[in-house]
Amino acid sequence: MLISKKKTSLLSLASIILVSCNHVSQENVNSSKLSTDTLISGKKRNRNDSPYLKQSECLYSLQGYSHYWIKDSLGDYGFREIYADTYLKQCDFTGVSWSEIHQYLGKTNYTVINDTITIYRYRLNHYSENYKDIGTGLLEVRVKKGVIILYDVWYVDG
């Protein structure tokens, strides 16, 4: 019972996000015809395709929802997972200055620093304490010399 209520509230939250981002019409949300395909704009993600959204649109959205992203810092409330799956997957911040994005994402959950790159990881959900457990969602940003060289939303699959 709690799981279905949580999923319903997360779907409602996603609906609000997408309506405000002009990805679905309020009419579809009100008529409860919002499906998984609609949530991802009916498109299958292909890494070889160009990003679905302009960087300026992504930055504007990220700026607007930054407060909620930072508030869900451990991924306990579901905002990060829904927002990343429905919106951030359609963005590509490759080539953008890390300082420009970092201000909206807040403190990272995990940081790995080596000689040439720094990897920042943000938890999208909190199924277990260990971020390496199956089902854990992560937003990963790799930065070299202050510029994003890789930006990806992914889930640990084993």
* Cα 87 from Cα 74, distance rounded (Å): 19
Better pLDDT: 152 or 15: 152
Mean pLDDT of 143-156: 94
In terms of pTM, does the model score above 0.75?
no
Does residue 34 have a pLDDT over 90? no
Dihedrals phi, psi of 13, to nearest 5 degrees: -65, -45
pLDDT band at 65 (very low <50, low <70, confident <90, very high): very high
- Tell me the percentage of the chain whose pLDDT exceeds 70: 67
Kindly state the percentage of the chain with pLDDT values over 90. Answer: 47
Q: Which residues touch 107 (CB under 8 Å, ≥6 apart)? A: 70, 73
44 has pLDDT over 60: no
Rounded Cα distance between 143 and 117, Å, is 6
Distances (CA, A) of 39 to 42, 44, 121, 137: 7, 11, 24, 18
Q: Domain-by-domain residue ranges, the chain?
A: 2-42+51-155
pLDDT of residue 157: 86
pLDDT, residue 9, reads 54
